[in-house]
């Protein structure tokens, strides 16, 4: 492992040890339902993580590979990327980013509510909107949050060059959870849940190069650098799977 990767790993471990983040900052007007109250970044994370866990508990048949643990990892990656961008002078609106992170896959908690009994990312937008309106979250922030959620998926066809930085952070952080042993396990869990067999998995992830596509979608250099080894591992895994099935 080269020096930079060791440093990246240490930063992530520190994030995990400190649970959410050190040096918590106050975000004006961030208290859902009471704009006069100021919530810190940590308080917002705790609030939305709790909402996420409650929705998971109430879910009829949640997809476990998209559960609260996935949302929390996406938050840790988001924080890691945010800190890197802030060092370069970018301003991050955590009042948008934190709810978007913890609400981005909540429809996976009740996938059979969706049309055709299949989880659809468009439903995430409606579900997130419902939660935020119930919280009386600032109205102008709701549309920003839902528009960020709407472009986080791998199916996003066109990525606008002028998209908000929070949209890029969420999409890249979400992709960071796709590679390596953990990412492969999540993919296999999701695919078997959708009744895909091994040949279809090989077709999508090896022949159609879905893994490569997801890696190439990432825009923030630190995101790509962080997952590079895991990305190579995933490509090799699906290639070997194809070879083993063909012999």
Which residues face 27 on adjacent strands? 39
Is 172 a residue that touches Fe ion (CB under 5 A)?
A: no
- Listed residue (151, 150, 103) closest to 128, CA to CA: 103
The stretch among 15-23, 91-99, 104-112, 156-164 that binds Fe ion (CB under 5 A) is 104-112
Site residue total, Fe ion (CB under 5 A): 2
Q: Who contacts 165 (Cβ-Cβ below 8 Å, separation ≥6)?
A: 85, 90, 91, 92
Element (DSSP H or E) covering residue 70: helix 68-87
Rounded to an integer, what distance in angstroms lies between the CA atom of residue 84 and that of residue 86? 6
Site track for Fe ion across 47-86, x = CB under 5 A = ----------------------------------------
Applying CB under 5 A, among 30, 51, 94, 105 the residue interacting with Fe ion is: 105
Site track for Fe ion across 125-154, x = CB under 5 A = ------------------------------
The stretch among 40-48, 159-167, 168-176, 178-186 that binds Fe ion (CB under 5 A) is 168-176
Rounded to an integer, what distance in angstroms lies between the CA atom of residue 137 and that of residue 107? 20
The stretch among 99-107, 136-144, 202-210, 236-244 that binds Fe ion (CB under 5 A) is 99-107
- Listed residue (96, 20, 90, 80) closest to 224, CA to CA: 80
Applying CB under 5 A, among 174, 183, 201, 217 the residue interacting with Fe ion is: 174
Nearer to Fe ion, 40 or 150 (CB): 150
CB of 202 to Fe ion, least distance (A): 22
Q: Who contacts 144 (Cβ-Cβ below 8 Å, separation ≥6)?
A: 93, 96, 164, 166
Site residues (vs Fe ion, CB under 5 A): 105, 174
């Amino acid at each position: 492992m080269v020096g930079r990767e060791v440093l990246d790993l240490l930063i992530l471990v520190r994030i995990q040890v400190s649970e959410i983040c050190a040096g918590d900052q106050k975000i004006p007007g961030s208290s859902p339902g009471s704009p006069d109250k100021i919530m810190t970044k940590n308080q917002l994370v705790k609030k939305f993580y709790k909402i996420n866990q409650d929705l998971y508990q109430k879910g009829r048949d949640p997809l476990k590979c998209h559960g609260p643990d996935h949302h929390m990892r996406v938050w840790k990656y988001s924080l890691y990327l945010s800190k890197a961008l802030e060092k370069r002078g970018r301003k991050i609106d955590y009042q948008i980013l934190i709810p978007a992170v913890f609400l981005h896959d909540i429809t996976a908690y009740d996938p059979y509510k969706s049309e055709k009994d299949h989880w659809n990312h468009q439903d995430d937008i409606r579900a997130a909107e419902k939660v935020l309106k119930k919280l009386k979250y600032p109205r102008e922030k709701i549309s920003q949050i839902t528009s960020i959620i709407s472009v986080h998926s791998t199916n996003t066809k066109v990525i606008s060059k002028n998209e908000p930085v929070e949209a890029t952070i969420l999409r890249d952080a979400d992709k960071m959870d796709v590679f390596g042993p953990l990412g492969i396990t999540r993919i296999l869990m999701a695919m078997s849940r959708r009744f895909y067999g091994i040949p279809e998995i090989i077709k999508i992830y090896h022949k159609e190069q879905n893994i490569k596509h997801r890696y190439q979608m990432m825009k923030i250099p630190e995101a790509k650098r962080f997952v590079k080894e895991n990305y190579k591992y995933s490509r090799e895994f699906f290639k070997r799977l194809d070879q083993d099935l063909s012999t």
